[in-house]
Amino acid sequence: MPTIALVNGPNLNLLGQREPGMYGARTLQQIIEGIQQAFPDHHFPHFQSNHEGELVDAIQRFGAESKGIVINPAAYGHTSVALRDAIAAVRVPVIEVHLSNIYAREGFRHTSITGGACAGVISGFGEEGYHMAVGHLLFHH
């Protein structure tokens, strides 16, 4: 029963209440349950934090304990070299997911510092982006 870790960054704990037009009406808990239901034969440890350092810790920890990692770095994707270094340091593949299409938002969201260390980046598909990433790690890597 392979394990895919789900790591979610700052302010994603507010999903469902924060700008639903942008981020969708479902909570993070509902999104994670949706993933579990879609892939019932697998295990999805998950972790959300608003702290850059805890996300670095999580990447390191899941990098040793999982088959792959799906991270939505949220704002830290645009500013964190530390997170990029953590992703580059682990040996399992990491996929970056953004709920909204970062290219269609403010200019400072058009780049991804963390993305350069990931296997791939998925942006703009809402909750389904997680499913795409999980599916890829489970069946195509």
Residues in region 70-89 near a second copy by CB under 8 A: 74-76, 78-82, 84-86, 88-89
Residue 23 annotated to the active site = yes
Record the tokens describing residue 47, joined without a space. 């972790």
CA atoms within a 13 Å half-sphere pointing along the CA-CB vector of 99: 23
125 binds a second copy (CB under 8 A): yes
110 binds a second copy (CB under 8 A): yes
116 binds a second copy (CB under 8 A): yes
Residue 98 annotated to the active site = yes
Residues in region 32-51 near a second copy by CB under 8 A: 49-51
- Rounded to the nearest whole angstrom, what is the least distance from the CB of residue 58 to a second copy in the complex? 9
What SS3 class is residue 61? Answer: helix
Choosing from 98, 130, 131, 136, which is the catalytic residue?
98
CA distance 55 to 71: 9
CA distance 6 to 78: 19
104 binds a second copy (CB under 8 A): yes
DSSP 43: B
